[in-house]
Structure 1
């Protein structure tokens, strides 16, 4: 098992709540607009070798012979990833977790059944359900990520406590786990936590405000179409009727600010190769991006909500959502203490249509 998949296993093993002896930890949060229901999705993988088709799921069904447990277990197994070794290891992680859950529930259900029989009490079998949702297949969102959501829900006959494990992977020739810092930048947490808190305060009767402690390193999330969705465990910050609270915001860079882009108000020059170079500071101001400059690395970061991009002086290597860098044929330059980027940065990295009039 390679290092990246070991890290993925760590992610899947934490972030839930204890279900009758099954090892589960708590999940954290994130977003701008909360929703109760999430639909299906797709996503696009950025890599040196583009994915021609989205990944698919082959379902593996697990069953039990225990008379004390009713199990309905459908385990997702990914097919079609560019990195076959990573795919096999990830599938093994997901299957192993389901098998571990089943074994634990069989053991605990049998103990409860024997105890009930010894006390001559009625006993109704426990239940264990495992389902999944492929939220993004690697062919349709700005971040280019495969997102898989696995829901494990066991019950002793009363209220159940679902565990939600999310798997987010860059579908590249050398696949790797995708984290929130990959998508939003290293300093995302403060703004993210504040955005979620603001949404919670809009409907305070729906949430346990005092239970909201902000996001965690191993925050559960998934990508669905153009949205980043952050998931909280059931009961963690809201009553049971809310389910597992979700907060979402758009990763789509085609915002309403596009129509306001006015090149006449942006400092520019044409370089010796005939490429129009634009002031990054002026671009950020017009499009309402926060711009940060790192003098040590001569790197600029642009941030707005979930949107994040990075450029470095004299490096034809542009990052968007910290995915695989993209070359534009022209590197950023420093002129008169201003960073200038080629006009292609606006169209190819920020995905904004440039209008000169």
Structure 2
């Protein structure tokens, strides 16, 4: 079978992780495998359940129809972690809305210029709370958010999954927490066995094993591993899911906290570090700047986007997209989109000042000094 070349939507499928895991898939295709247990610990306070309220977002343009319900959690034992998680979820939705408003407006203008009838684009965001923390494993909250955009034809969903442990000190839940240190071997073997049962439903030799940030959710005592549509199977198969049974009364060990002292971060760039585009906008290397200021950087090859995180601070950029945001702020334009030159991702210098809120001083011969105060 040949892969469907479908690649029409910039939403695509995201695979990344910051406070929580993120990835994509929707429709069921199940497999069962036993799991090795992770470490057992003494019981700690866990809430009965979390609650969710809808944050409804609407478009300010008639070119885009929306049905957007963004989940915002309440009732977690760690209010700071809860606020960070809600910020990330809402920021994703606001950025998607801004991106598709621009896409729709551009398409409407193009249709008018060429005498075509324009049909509004559609953007839908909804969610399912897979586990509220009251079932096995105790305290695990698992949330699945589906983002679907359509331009008049078939769209591709993006499914983000968030798995957290609801304790006084909240933490991200991983497949290793659920399936033990040999989780990769367990999951890879289980998935390959299901593929071998019906190989006609999958792309030949496409499954190479799960990634470090493989998407999954927890439901009814099972870890459900997800794959994006078209990743390992044709569209007719749907978006595969593989289920792995978890031990009864599984307790997840708390991860040790790492305390990082606050300090000012300084970075010096020389003239050869930066480039200037044809519009005269000064661009600086994204990774070098972000890591120099103490951010964790994660690149997503499928969506040509990069995310950065430091504590509660989080943002992302996408190649070719002049939309930038930080936490709850609405997306803004900075006069130039991120670009890749010589295998390096560059962003406008204004990204450093306006988005990361760092101080910038320019010196002789193109030197740039950056300082971010904690």
Q: Report TM bin, short chain.
A: 0.5 to 0.7
Deviation of the 1:130 alpha carbon: 0.3
SS in 1 for 2:205: helix
Larger % of helix: which?
1
The CA distance in 2 between the partners of 1:134 and 1:211, in whole Å, is 30
1:207 paired residue number: 202
1:84 paired residue number: 79
The CA distance in 2 between the partners of 1:124 and 1:29, in whole Å, is 28
Alignment of 1:273-352 (within 5 A): 322-324=252-254
2:179–2:246: 8 Å Cα contact kept in structure 1?
no
Larger Rg: 1
Q: TM-score, normalised by structure 2?
A: 0.57
The CA distance in 1 between the partners of 2:165 and 2:14, in whole Å, is 25
Q: Which stretch shifts more, 140-149 or 55-64?
A: 140-149
CA offsets, 1:252-301, max 9 Å, x none?
A: 338xxxxxxxxxxxxxxxxxxxxxxxxxxxxxxxxxxxxxxxxxxxxxxx
**2:222 is the counterpart of 1:233:** no
Match of 1:112 among 107, 113, 116: 107
The CA distance in 1 between the partners of 2:81 and 2:187, in whole Å, is 30
1:133–1:148: 8 Å Cα contact kept in structure 2?
yes
Alignment of 1:63-142 (within 5 A): 63-142=58-137
List structure 1 runs of 4+ shifted beyond 4 angstroms: 26-30, 46-49
2:167 paired residue number: 172
Q: TM-score, normalised by structure 1?
A: 0.60
Call closer, same or farther: CA 1:235–1:69 in 2, change over 3 Å: same
The CA distance in 2 between the partners of 1:156 and 1:48, in whole Å, is 50
Q: CA RMSD in A?
A: 2.7
1:25 paired residue number: 14
SS in 2 for 1:211: coil
Count residues with an aligned counterpart: 233
1:152 paired residue number: 147
2:265 paired residue number: none
Deviation of the 1:123 alpha carbon: 1.6
Deviation of the 1:51 alpha carbon: 2.6
- Which protein has greater RCO, CA pairs closer than 8 Å, 6+ apart? 2
The CA distance in 2 between the partners of 1:19 and 1:167, in whole Å, is 26
2:13–2:157: 8 Å Cα contact kept in structure 1?
no
1:43 paired residue number: none
